[in-house]
Chain A
């Protein structure tokens, strides 16, 4: 039930954004569509509603955003340098890293963050054992522990505070 209410408000917000400027006709249709969508698919949207109640998680998310955007910007400079260099200086390989995150949302965000940050692209996840396979454009270390420290640690602590 909680999951349906949350989905209803999110869907309604997106609808109002898409039909800007506001108008009572859009408003009425929006309520109909959002309630239909949340009735049909609401039960699988939020599995753990208690996570959304804690205000600290939102503050950590706001703290995570600028770090993420800065890493993303660095990734772009890095790729532009590698591609623009006459020799194409790459040293690629797939390494294995460990993670302590277990929830679906947390793992999704971790994999997406890894993909958008310098030189790394997540290839597969083993959720039971907590392994991620990461394609690294410039392999600095093949060892699991040290690769984990280089790739995962800058996000893991913040993400575990947001989603676990």
Chain B
């Protein structure tokens, strides 16, 4: 039973990881690509790790997968945030059809 559940989680994770990578190719600019890759890859990889935990049970490797999930959830959004902020500060422009950029407006008014 645990094996089947683990397999299901791993397949779901693979599908989401695939969509994350597809987003990396199809979306237009840095920020949109970060959105796709962060969300889908975090959730997909957590799902794969949780599936592996279900298949392995409470063993040496199984507990490490749980730690990996915790650290991945804590660090992936932080790195995405750092990349987005760094890109904006170093002058990477938003996609030309973007609607609004309050960050740029505020940076201009501060100068």
Contact = CB atoms under 8 A, between A and B. Distances in A.
A20 B63 contact: yes
A93 B27 contact: no
B59 A90 contact: no
Contact of B102 (A80, A90, A94, A121): A94
B39 to A, nearest CB: 5
B1 interface: no
Nearest to A80: B19
Interface size band for B: 35 or more
Interface in B1-40: 15-16, 19-20, 22-23, 26-29, 31-32, 34-36, 38-40
Tell which of B26, B28, B59, B100 has the most Cβ of chain A within 10 Å: B100
Interface size band for A: 35 or more
Per DSSP, chain B at the interface is helix
Interface stretch (A34-42, A45-53, A135-143, A156-164): A135-143
B100 to A, nearest CB: 4
Given A88-B26, A123-B85, A115 B80 contact: yes
Nearest to B34: A121
A73 B98 CA distance: 26
Contacts of B66: 17
A84 B22 contact: yes
B88 A124 contact: yes
Given A88-B26, A88-B27, A90-B27, A95 B39 contact: no
A95 B85 CA distance: 14
Contacts of B101: 93-94
B85 A121 contact: no
Nearest to A17: B63
Contacts of A120: 35
The 10 A-B residue pairs with the shortest CB-CB distance in the complex, in nearest-first order: A115-B77, A93-B99, A93-B100, A112-B77, A96-B102, A80-B19, A83-B23, A133-B103, A135-B31, A139-B99
Interface of B: 15-16, 19-20, 22-23, 26-29, 31-32, 34-36, 38-40, 42-44, 58-60, 63-64, 66-67, 73-74, 77-78, 80-81, 84-85, 88, 94-95, 97-104, 106
6 contacts: A88-B27, A93-B98, A94-B94, A137-B32, A139-B100, A142-B102
